[in-house]
Amino acid sequence: MFLGTAGSVPTARRAPSALLLRRGGERLLFDCGEGTQRQMLRSSVGLVDLDEVFLTHFHADHTLGLPGMMKTFALRGRDATLTVYGPPGLEELFRSLRAIFGRLTYPYRLVELRAGEELVRDGYVLRAVGVDHRASAIGYALVEDARPGRFDVEAAAALGVPPGPLFGALQRGEEVSVPGGATVRPEQVLGPPRAGRRIVLTGDTRPAAGVLEAAQGADVLVHDGTFGEEEAERAEETAHATAREAAELARAAGVRMLVLTHLSNRYFGPEIVREARAVFPETVVPKDFDIIAVPLPERGGPELVKGGALARREEAGTVGDGSGGGGGGPRGGGGDPVDPPVGGDRVGASSGGGAAPDGPR
Ligand SMILES: [Zn+2]
Ligand SMILES: [Zn+2]
């Protein structure tokens, strides 16, 4: 769920970086740019008491929303622990943030992760990925465990396994004795193990070897797509990627879908998606409140659901595509002129002014 897709500075249409990854009942927030709590309030999820926040790095456009959100949790009287993960330097960041959020009603825990370290969880690992942003920075790869192969009921029957508890035991990988005394091994009735899902989030980065490795065969690669190729030099200077560079990496890694985010405020989206698709057709550039649904691999590929994260009351009339054109509009300003306003807010009404964007952080 894309809560913020802007790079460096917010625009009327795009908030700074934040992405909520939902898996089963879990909700993992990656980066927390300014205004993330309000983006969550406007989303179908609401501002839930998150258990965990994962930071890719400490630039302001990825972290400014955190002290405000932590304060709100305290004002609600939260008592559950909040765990914040990030690259080395996290402790130091919190020495400064503490002065802003003050006294909390709940404890928080800080966990610094280096590239290659992983959190082993029920059904998946979350691995810190090496990136190149000329700052203390990591990406994250969520890699699900392989699942047992399909159970072949006919093969089991032919081997004399009666339906019931023995089926379950075989599915769990245990050998069983069938009536008559023969032993049946799981591999006699189970197909090959089925791959789990793999989702890689880079945060801000140049094209990086660590990302290429982590993204091999990934279902979804969410990559820095700050600039178009005409800003290649700027991308290099500021340690970001161009759409084409990200697309080349996605092609080399053989991902199923490339998702570009962190757009510089001089781009509206269509020009970035065009450039990337010339190299890697399976590319999308979501807007705030878009969702990427990632089914299990055998059930189809990942899919962009436009406006899929908008709360019901904001949905009417807001999920139009708007991706056709826009490139010809004024650059360097605020919102995307082809977008309908979200929820009737007068967002974008006073945007822009054409101020030159600050350097991407
Ligand atoms: Zn950034
Ligand atoms: Zn940055």
- What number of other Cβ atoms are within 10 A of residue 165's Cβ? 9
For residue 353, the model assigns a pLDDT of 38
Cα of 48 vs centre of ligand 1, distance in Å, is 24
Same domain, residue pair 233 and 103: yes
Same domain, residue pair 180 and 311: no
- The reply to whether 68 falls in a domain is yes
Same domain, residue pair 183 and 253: no
Average of per-residue pLDDT values in the chain = 88
Amino acid residing at 324 = G
Q: CB of 161 within 8 A of CB of 189? A: yes
Question: What mean pLDDT do residues 168-192 have?
Answer: 91
Same domain, residue pair 187 and 224: no
- The reply to whether 343 falls in a domain is no
For residue 177, the model assigns a pLDDT of 93
For residue 193, the model assigns a pLDDT of 87
Kindly report, residue by residue over 233-260, the tens digit of the pLDDT.
999 999 999 999 999 999 999 999 999 9
Cα of 195 vs centre of ligand 1, distance in Å, is 32
Kindly report, residue by residue over 275-305, the tens digit of the pLDDT.
999 999 999 999 999 999 999 988 999 999 9
Number of the ligand closest to the Cα of 137: 2
Q: CB of 74 within 8 A of CB of 104? A: yes
**Which residue's structure tokens are 């500075």?**
9
Same domain, residue pair 181 and 84: no
| From 61, 219, 288, 290, the catalytic residue | 61
Banded pLDDT at 359 (limits 50, 70, 90): low
User: Crossing angle for the helix pair 270-277 and 243-253, nearest 10 degrees?
Assistant: 40
- The reply to whether 169 falls in a domain is no
For residue 320, the model assigns a pLDDT of 41
Q: Which of 149-158, 274-283, 342-351 has the lowest mean pLDDT?
A: 342-351
Cα of 294 vs centre of ligand 2, distance in Å, is 26
For residue 223, give both structure tokens: 């990559």
Residue 183's domain comprises 154-160+175-193
The alpha carbon torsion through 150, 151, 155, 159 (nearest 10 deg) reads 140
For the chain, give the percent of residues with pLDDT over 70.
86
Question: What mean pLDDT do residues 259-273 have?
Answer: 96
Work out how many domains the chain is built from and give that number.
2
Same domain, residue pair 297 and 307: yes
Number of the ligand closest to the Cα of 87: 2
Q: Is 56 exposed, middle or buried (0-12, 13-18, 19+ CB in 10 A)?
A: buried
Question: What mean pLDDT do residues 162-183 have?
Answer: 91
Banded pLDDT at 314 (limits 50, 70, 90): low
Q: What number of CA atoms fall less than 13 Å from residue 52's CA on the CB side?
A: 14
Dihedral sign computed on CA atoms, order 259, 265, 266, 269 = positive
pLDDT for 344 beyond 90: no
Question: What mean pLDDT do residues 131-155 have?
Answer: 95
User: pTM, whole model, 2 decimals?
Assistant: 0.83
What are the backbone dihedrals phi and psi of residue 120, each rounded to the nearest 5 degrees, phi first? -95, 125
Kindly report, residue by residue over 204-224, the tens digit of the pLDDT.
999 999 999 999 999 999 999
Cα of 131 vs centre of ligand 2, distance in Å, is 11
- The reply to whether 358 falls in a domain is no
Banded pLDDT at 268 (limits 50, 70, 90): very high
**Which residue's structure tokens are 């990934």?**
218
Same domain, residue pair 101 and 213: yes
Same domain, residue pair 116 and 230: yes
Same domain, residue pair 85 and 188: no
For residue 352, the model assigns a pLDDT of 37
For residue 173, the model assigns a pLDDT of 87
Cα of 62 vs centre of ligand 1, distance in Å, is 6
Question: What mean pLDDT do residues 56-85 have?
Answer: 97
Question: What mean pLDDT do residues 157-171 have?
Answer: 92
- The reply to whether 275 falls in a domain is yes
For residue 180, the model assigns a pLDDT of 86
Cα of 183 vs centre of ligand 2, distance in Å, is 58
CATH number of the domain to which 83 belongs:
3.60.15.10
Q: Is 324 exposed, middle or buried (0-12, 13-18, 19+ CB in 10 A)?
A: exposed
CA 330 to CA 266: how far, in whole Å?
8
For residue 235, the model assigns a pLDDT of 98
pLDDT for 189 beyond 50: yes
Same domain, residue pair 188 and 225: no
The string of DSSP codes covering 219-288 is: SEEEEE--B-GGGHHHHHHHT--BHHHHHHHHHHHT-SEEEEE-B-TT--SHHHHHHHHTT-SSEE-PPT
CA 183 to CA 175: how far, in whole Å?
7
In the residue annotation, 132 being an active-site residue is answered as: no
Same domain, residue pair 135 and 201: yes
Cα of 360 vs centre of ligand 2, distance in Å, is 7
Number of the ligand closest to the Cα of 8: 1
Number of the ligand closest to the Cα of 31: 1
| More confident position, 285 or 336 | 285
Cα of 206 vs centre of ligand 1, distance in Å, is 12
Q: CB of 207 within 8 A of CB of 245? A: yes
- The reply to whether 86 falls in a domain is yes
Kindly report, residue by residue over 96-136, the tens digit of the pLDDT.
999 999 999 999 999 999 999 999 999 999 999 999 999 99
Question: What mean pLDDT do residues 20-38 have?
Answer: 97
Show the 3-state SS of 343-359.
CCCCCCCCCCCCCCCCC
Banded pLDDT at 181 (limits 50, 70, 90): confident
pLDDT for 315 beyond 90: no
For residue 326, the model assigns a pLDDT of 36
Same domain, residue pair 205 and 260: yes
End-to-end CA distance of the chain: 22
| More confident position, 330 or 122 | 122
